[in-house]
């Protein structure tokens, strides 16, 4: 199979990245539309209801180290499909929610994990296929997030008016599952053997780190920075939860 960067199938991957960004960021920013309905449906506190959206948004960025491991094991295509299935299940089963805690795990946690796997794959695949036009390709893929942020909230409002919030979530689950189709377009540019060889060469060519306490077993600073970022996000979420409960 002939592989070529910055041309051909690379632009197909950009289309897939666009749709995934459209769904992930569009639905993340649409939670405010559902929030009002959930607040009256379950008669819960504002902070308790808002925690659903906080879990969804937080996990998309919090699970960086986990996503990297899954991506290394399954590859770009299977990781994107797995994420789409998880997110679809999480969104669709929210249709059955009878308590707010059910939505914590379905709409917040399960869908958040799925969104993260799709998001990290949509970002990685574009960088694998592009060199000269990488900035343009990333910009076009990320553009989907802006379009989704503008388009999905009013669309969700229309669906809720016609089918209630439960029906809207069921339909949204179908939109999310379409990400599996676009994820199937993410044909890996490198084989697992090629990626392993590239990592070995990279580790051999590196100089000894200046800060050995920060340097981890992977041969770079990735896990250290992911851990620091994760602790920052968890700390912020804990403070937000405390304030929402006690105020």
* pLDDT score of 211 more than 60: no
CA triple 139-140-141, angle to 5 deg? 95
DSSP 127-138: HHH-STTHHHHH
Q: What is the DSSP letter of 191?
A: -
Rounded to whole angstroms, the Cα distance separating 97 from 41 reads 11
* pLDDT score of 192 more than 80: no
Residue entry with tokens 């343009």: 136
How high does pLDDT run on average in the chain? Answer: 83
* pLDDT score of 107 more than 90: yes
Q: Which residue has the higher pLDDT, 204 or 138?
A: 138
Give residue 63's pLDDT: 82
Rounded to whole angstroms, the Cα distance separating 149 from 131 reads 28
Give residue 246's pLDDT: 63
Determine contact, residues 7/132, Cβ cutoff 8 Å.
Answer: no
What is the value of pTM for the model shown? 0.79
**Cβ-based neighbour number of residue 4 at 10 Å:** 10
Backbone angles phi, psi at 152, to 5 degrees: -75, -40
Cα–Cα distance list, 34 to 106, 192, 247 (Å): 14, 42, 23
Determine contact, residues 111/104, Cβ cutoff 8 Å.
Answer: no
Determine contact, residues 59/109, Cβ cutoff 8 Å.
Answer: yes
pLDDT, tens digit, for every residue of 19-45? 999 999 999 999 989 998 888 888 888
DSSP 27-66: HHTTHHHHHHHHHHHH---HHHHHHHHHHHHHHHHHTHHH
């Amino acid at each position: 199979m002939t592989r070529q960067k910055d041309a051909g199938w690379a632009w197909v991957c950009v289309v897939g990245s666009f749709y995934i960004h459209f769904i992930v960021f569009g639905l993340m920013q649409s939670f405010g539309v559902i929030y009002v309905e959930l607040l009256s449906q379950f008669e819960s506190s504002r902070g308790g209801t808002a925690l659903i959206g906080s879990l969804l948004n937080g996990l998309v960025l919090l699970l960086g180290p986990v996503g990297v491991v899954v991506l290394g094991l399954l590859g770009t295509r299977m990781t994107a499909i797995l994420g789409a299935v998880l997110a679809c299940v999480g969104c669709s089963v929210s249709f059955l929610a009878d308590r707010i805690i059910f939505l914590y795990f379905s709409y917040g946690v399960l869908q958040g994990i799925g969104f993260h796997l799709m998001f990290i794959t949509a970002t990685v695949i574009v960088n694998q296929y592009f060199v000269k036009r990488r900035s343009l390709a990333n910009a076009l893929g990320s553009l989907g997030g802006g379009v989704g942020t503008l388009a999905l909230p009013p669309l969700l409002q229309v669906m809720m008016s016609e089918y209630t919030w439960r029906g809207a979530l069921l339909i949204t689950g179908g939109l999310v599952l379409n990400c599996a189709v676009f994820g199937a377009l993410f044909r890996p540019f490198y084989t697992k053997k090629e990626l392993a060889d590239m990592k070995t060469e990279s580790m051999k060519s590196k100089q000894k780190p200046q800060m050995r306490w920060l340097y981890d077993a992977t041969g770079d600073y990735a896990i250290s920075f992911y851990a620091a970022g994760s602790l920052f996000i968890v700390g912020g979420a804990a403070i937000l939860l405390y304030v929402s409960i006690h105020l």
